[in-house]
Amino acid sequence: MDMMDKGIDRIVEQLRKGGRNVVFTGAGISTESGIPDFRSQGGIWDQYRPVYFDEFMKSREARIEYWRQKTAFYHDLQKARPNKAHLAVATLYEMGLVEAVITQNIDGLHQASGIPDEKVIELHGSNRRVRCMSCGRISSIEEAHKRIEEGDPAPECECGGYLKPDTISFGQAMPEREVEKAIALSRTADSFLVVGSTLLVHPAASMPGYAREAGAFLAIVNLSETPFDTLCKVLIRGKAGEVLPKIVDRLKAG
């Protein structure tokens, strides 16, 4: 039995105990759905410079650049479907073995896989909707991209406010309610499974630390290194789309 199998068996054994189990995901769980991650070779930050929130609010050029970047990935996002890893997490939820999913992802694929909205904590918001930065009005991402295709490079609200996908940019305030819920879940978790994240961006990346401090069984499934690799009970260097279904299969096999 190789290291991966041993790791999977230990996660299965832990999940079998029941308790409050939390799954924490990053962009790596969605790469097998055709959505690039941020820090792998050729990832989004290899292709684009992030537009910080204050730039977005201060400069029309920055807003135009921001929407240009969003447009580049819009079609990838629109045609993306949950992959085997998302579906495996949803099965664990249906089996009553996962309490909730904390995600840094903005693609809505955990909800699309069947996990109820209220059980998916989106720490970095969602690219599925647009918010006016002045009046807060919510509108659809489709509507905004239609306006961009028709020649408006940085759409604005009827109130004159700047429209922005409802995601959290660097320098933008985090959604308080979601952060509080994520911290509470992390602090009361019996096991905390990280899937597909470099765990470099805080406060999201603090969640595994809260779980570990509270005595949770911390496990990581990730293709590259994270700062928690030496702090977790199980570390699997594997693809989410291969490892997560194996966890489900072994749980079902009893």
Q: Which of 56, 239, 247, 251 binds ligand APR (CB under 6 A)?
A: 239
**CB 63 to ligand APR: min, Å:** 18
- Helix, strand, coil abundance in the chain, percent, nearest 5: 45, 15, 40
Please tell me whether residue 157 binds ligand APR under the rule CB under 6 A.
no
Is 124 an annotated catalytic residue?
yes
Q: Which amino acid is at 63?
A: R
Quick note: the x/- pattern for ligand APR over 192-221, rule CB under 6 A, is ----xxx-xx--------------------
How distant, in Å, are the alpha carbons of 5, 19, 65, 153 from that of 254? 16, 17, 52, 55
CB 99: neighbour CB atoms within 10 A? 17
Please tell me whether residue 172 binds ligand APR under the rule CB under 6 A.
no
Please tell me whether residue 222 binds ligand APR under the rule CB under 6 A.
yes
Active-site residue identified among 86, 110, 124, 145: 124
Tell me the window of 110-118, 178-186, 207-215, 239-247 that interacts with ligand APR (CB under 6 A): 239-247
Please tell me whether residue 164 binds ligand APR under the rule CB under 6 A.
no
134 Cα distance to chain centroid: 26
CB 57: neighbour CB atoms within 10 A? 15
Distance CA 207, CA 24 (A): 8
Contacts of ligand APR in 6-65 (CB under 6 A): 26-28, 31-32, 37-40, 43
**CB 254 to ligand APR: min, Å:** 27
**CB 14 to ligand APR: min, Å:** 19
Binding footprint of ligand APR, residue count (CB under 6 A): 23
Nearest residue to 189 (alpha-carbon basis) of 103, 95, 94, 102:
102
Nearer to ligand APR, 6 or 137 (CB): 6
Nearest residue by C-beta to ligand APR?
28
Contacts of 35 (CB under 8 A, 6+ apart): 27, 73, 76, 77, 80, 107
CB 65: neighbour CB atoms within 10 A? 18
Helix (H) or strand (E) holding 234: strand 234-236
Catalytic residue list:
124
Footprint of ligand APR on this chain (CB under 6 A)?
Answer: 26-28, 31-32, 37-40, 43, 104, 124, 196-198, 200-201, 222-224, 239-241
